[in-house]
Amino acid sequence: MMRCALVVNPHSGRRRGDEVAAAAHTRLTAAGAEVVVVRGADTSGARAHLETVIAGGLDAVVVVGGDGALHAVLDLVVRHDLLLGLLPAGTGNDTARSTGIPVGDATAAVDIVLAGHERRLDVARTGEGVHVMTVVASGFDSKVNERANAMRWPRGNMRYNLAIVAELRAFSPLPFSITLDDRVIEREAMLVAVGNGPSFGGGLRICEGAAMDDGLLDVCIINPVSKAKLLRVFPRLYRGTHVSLPEFERHRVRSVTLSSPGIVAYGDGERLGALPVSAEVVPGAVRLLSPVPSP
């Protein structure tokens, strides 16, 4: 019998987490799984609770939430080599989007967990030991995040929209120093994103073409572009067709270090801290319960 921890983030996706978790609990139990619900007031509470459950013996961690909820427990899942299930309940859900796990159909997502197909995926590990499943991003994107996080009003997506408009007005290209494996390049850039997976921010395919099982990270650089052009081509991010623009530059590496004075990085939408940030790929570190097994 499978013993699994159902890690519920009650804050995910406007509180959809509890709803999805209740339905999943019923379905997993009916299928014969032993389910332990893990909840915490915040990420550290959830992690502490999960650690005690892991100590008691566990086969799988099933995360109910978005990329932030997965990010919070990813290092524990990897360290203990546990199976990972994902029941999307966030607003972005980029890991789910990139791996074919249905967003908005909780029953279908639970069935993928129950089917038990294991797919090995890479993970990006920062120099600080933080594990990132989707994208590490810095530059325009992290400036927008910093600005939005400092705003008290309004709430939700509108705060981001206002932060984007305000940041766009003030923004100019940033001086980056980027170490690609053992080669250093210098660039003035709008944004540098390091993709284990292709998308962040809810389907923005910034690192289009990044495969999560190729043993490599995609370092995607948006070189300087006028504000007018940035606004014009922004929608192409949702289709990933920006990669054909002359300002788009990509390098595939095993390790990378990003530096730019006064700039911070975000990973899986969570604040990682001030640059420099380094990341290396850990091939096949994640055992995702996936619609398709590893070949």
Ligand X SMILES: Nc1ncnc2c1ncn2[C@@H]1O[C@H](COP(=O)(O)OP(=O)(O)OP(=O)(O)O)[C@@H](O)[C@H]1O
What does the binding site for ligand X look like in residue numbers (CB under 6 A)?
A: 7, 9, 11-13, 40, 42-43, 46, 65-69, 72, 90-93, 202, 269-270
Q: How far is the CB of 174 from ligand X (least distance, A)?
A: 24
Q: How far is the CB of 54 from ligand X (least distance, A)?
A: 14
What is the secondary structure of 155-221 as a DSSP string?
-THHHHHHHHHHHHHH---EEEEEEETTEEEEEEESEEEEESSS-BTTTB-TTTT--TTSS-EEEEE
The separation between the first and the last C-alpha atoms of the chain, rounded to the nearest angstrom, is 25
In this complex, which beta carbon is closest to ligand X, that of residue 122 or of residue 268? 268
CB 122 within 8 A of CB 273: no
In this complex, which beta carbon is closest to ligand X, that of residue 71 or of residue 187? 71
In this complex, which beta carbon is closest to ligand X, that of residue 43 or of residue 255? 43
Which of 98, 77, 116 has its CA nearest to residue 213?
Answer: 98
> What phi and psi, each to the nearest 5 degrees, are found at residue 225?
-145, 145
In this complex, which beta carbon is closest to ligand X, that of residue 43 or of residue 179? 43
> To 5 degrees, how large is the angle CA 61–CA 62–CA 65?
130
Phi-psi bin for 79: left (phi > 0), alpha (psi -120 to 50), beta? alpha
In this complex, which beta carbon is closest to ligand X, that of residue 199 or of residue 260? 199
Q: How far is the CB of 39 from ligand X (least distance, A)?
A: 7
Q: How far is the CB of 139 from ligand X (least distance, A)?
A: 19
Q: CA-to-CA distance for 85 and 77, rounded, in angstroms?
A: 10
In this complex, which beta carbon is closest to ligand X, that of residue 213 or of residue 270? 270
Q: How far is the CB of 34 from ligand X (least distance, A)?
A: 20
CB 63 within 8 A of CB 70: yes
In this complex, which beta carbon is closest to ligand X, that of residue 94 or of residue 208? 94
Q: How far is the CB of 234 from ligand X (least distance, A)?
A: 18
CB 94 within 8 A of CB 272: no
| CA–centroid distance for 242 within its chain | 20
CB 100 within 8 A of CB 43: no
Q: How far is the CB of 93 from ligand X (least distance, A)?
A: 5
In this complex, which beta carbon is closest to ligand X, that of residue 28 or of residue 225? 28
Q: How far is the CB of 197 from ligand X (least distance, A)?
A: 12
